[in-house]
Chains A and B, each alone.
Chain A
Amino acid sequence: GQSLEQPSEVTAVEGAIVQINCTYQTSGFYGLSWYQQHDGGAPTFLSYNALDGLEETGRFSSFLSRSDSYGYLLLQELQMKDSASYFCAVLNQAGTALIFGKGTTLSVSS
């Protein structure tokens, strides 16, 4: 089966940099995705890594190391609006569903 581990909570201040780690176990690997969910809202797609390395999208970057079954989401120049839950996700072995980690709640303070 698949399992993903990520920290439950992270706190940071405005302007700082924070890294949210995700380790995964999966029988077949098709890439690592990241989603953001504000309180009471819908999850929204942030990034997808199929190959090793860093993908950058504005203030957010995502990294993948397939040999270590590990990835992280890097958020730079933190803003209050970045306070949200962040989920890593992988496809299940059958390729029929995204399996989500339990999420990391990021709290950004001023």
Chain B
Amino acid sequence: EAQVTQNPRYLITVTGKKLTVTCSQNMNHEYMSWYRQDPGLGLRQIYYSMNVEVTDKGDVPEGYKVSRKEKRNFPLILESPSPNQTSLYFCASSLSVGGQNNVLTFGAGSRLTVL
């Protein structure tokens, strides 16, 4: 089944404790992206990766890191989480990002709470 898999789905952690949210897709997609979703603010892009050679910041990258060592994986790293990073996180992928190919497939989401 074609899908984007994120883990963990739910996580409660404390301020400053490094964590990684994994994301993997099995569709051979070039483009991958992370979004966070907060009430009243909608979906905002954190980081994106056009392919394994190109990764760049989105609209809200502060406090996050990513890596794209291989096409299928795009982990999101919170080096020192803070309470304002409490949110619902979505990983998404698509063949590319332009034209008819900008159909994003989203993972199921990771709900993160930072105390």
In the assembled complex, the Cα of A40 lies from the Cα of B104 at a distance in Å of: 18
**Closest residue of chain A to B4, judged by CB?**
A42
On whether the beta carbons of B108 and A97 are closer than 8 Å, the reply is no
On whether the beta carbons of B104 and A98 are closer than 8 Å, the reply is yes
In the assembled complex, the Cα of A48 lies from the Cα of B104 at a distance in Å of: 11
Query: Is A95 an interface residue when CB atoms closer than 8 A count as contact?
Result: yes
In the assembled complex, the Cα of A48 lies from the Cα of B42 at a distance in Å of: 19
On whether the beta carbons of B90 and A91 are closer than 8 Å, the reply is no
In the assembled complex, the Cα of A43 lies from the Cα of B103 at a distance in Å of: 11
On whether the beta carbons of A96 and B99 are closer than 8 Å, the reply is no
Selected contact of B97 from candidates A48, A50, A97, A101, CB within 8 Å: A97
How many residues of B sit at the interface, in one of the four size bands?
Answer: 20 to 34
**Closest residue of chain A to B108, judged by CB?**
A42
Contacts of B40 in A (CB 8 A): 102
On whether the beta carbons of A30 and B90 are closer than 8 Å, the reply is no
Contacts of A101 in B (CB 8 A): 42
Contacts of B102 in A (CB 8 A): 30-31, 33, 48, 91, 98
| Interface residue ranges of A23-58 to B (CB < 8 Å) | 30-31, 33, 35, 40-45, 48, 50
The interface bits of chain B over 9-34 (1 if a CB of A lies within 8 angstroms of the residue's CB, else 0) are: 00000000000000000000000010
Q: Offer 12 A-B interface pairs, CB within 8 angstroms, sorted by A.
A: A30-B98, A35-B104, A41-B108, A42-B107, A48-B103, A50-B99, A50-B100, A96-B48, A96-B58, A97-B48, A102-B42, A103-B42
